[in-house]
Chain A
Amino acid sequence: MTTEITDLSLDLIEFILSHLPIPTLIQASTVCKLWHTIISSSSFSSNHKHKHKPWFFLHGIHNISSKNNQSFAFDPSSNSWFLLPTPQQPLHYPNNTSFIGTSSFFFITAPNFLYTPIINPLVWYSTPPLNFPRINPLLGVFNDDCSFKFIVVGGVRFIGNLVDIEDRLDVEIYDPLLGSWDLAPPLPADFRSGNSSSSLSSALFKGKFYVFGIYSCFVSSFDLKLCVWSDVKIVRPIGVVFSFMIACRERLILAGVCNSPSGSSFNLWEVDEKSMDFYEIGVMPHDLLCSLFDGDEDDKFASLKCVGLGDLIYVFNEDYHRMYPACVCEIRNGKCYWRRVPQLPSLMNKFHKVVSFCSNVSLHSILGEGQHHGLH
Chain B
Amino acid sequence: MAEEKSQASSSKMLTLKASDGVLFEVELNIAKEMKTVQAYIDDCEDIETIPIPNVLGKHLAIVIEYIKKTNEEYDAEFEKQWNMDDLQLLLLAANYLNISGLQECLCKAIAKRIENKSPEYVRKVFNIENDHSPEEEAKLRKEYKWAFEGVDKD
Contacts and interface: CB of A to CB of B under 8 A. Distances in A.
Interface of A: 1-2, 5-9, 12-13, 15-24, 26-33, 35-36, 72, 78, 80-85, 120, 342-347, 366
B122 interface: yes
B115 A83 contact: no
A176 to B, nearest CB: 25
Nearest to A22: B147
Given A8-B126, A17-B111, A24-B115, A30 B150 contact: no
Contacts of A17: 111
A24 B91 contact: no
Interface stretch (B6-14, B35-43, B61-69, B128-136): B128-136
B114 A24 contact: yes
The 3 A-B residue pairs with the shortest CB-CB distance, nearest first, are A19-B111, A26-B147, A23-B147
Given A8-B91, A24-B114, A33-B132, A83 B123 contact: no
A345 B114 contact: no
Given A5-B89, A30-B137, A83-B146, A16 B151 contact: no
A373 to B, nearest CB: 14
Contacts of A13: 126
B5 to A, nearest CB: 24
B130 A32 contact: yes
Interface stretch (B45-53, B73-81, B102-110): B102-110
5 contacts: A20-B115, A24-B115, A80-B151, A82-B151, A343-B154
B140 interface: yes
Contacts of B125: 2
A12 B131 contact: no
B89 to A, nearest CB: 6
For B141, B149, B151, the residue with the greatest tally of chain A CB atoms inside 10 Å of its CB is B151
B88 interface: yes
Contacts of B150: 23, 78, 80-82
Nearest to A24: B115
A194 B27 CA distance: 71
Contact of B88 (A6, A15, A21, A36): A6
B95 interface: yes
Given A8-B88, A31-B130, A19 B146 contact: no
Contact of B147 (A16, A27, A33): A27
Contact of B119 (A16, A31, A120, A347): A31
A21 B115 contact: yes
Contacts of A342: 153
B131 to A, nearest CB: 5
A27 B153 contact: no
Contact of A345 (B107, B115, B143, B151): B151
A19 B107 contact: yes
Contacts of B123: 31-32
A32 B132 contact: yes
B111 A345 contact: no
Contact of A83 (B85, B116, B151): B151
B110 to A, nearest CB: 5
B118 A32 contact: no
Given A8-B88, A78-B115, A16 B107 contact: yes
Contacts of A5: 89
Nearest to B143: A120
A344 to B, nearest CB: 8
A6 B92 contact: yes
B128 A31 contact: yes
B153 A30 contact: no
Given A342-B153, A346-B154, A12 B95 contact: yes
B132 A30 contact: yes
A36 B133 CA distance: 13
Contacts of A346: 153-154
Nearest to A1: B124
A32 B129 CA distance: 7
A8 B123 CA distance: 12
For B92, B115, B131, the residue with the greatest tally of chain A CB atoms inside 10 Å of its CB is B115
A271 to B, nearest CB: 31
Nearest to B139: A30
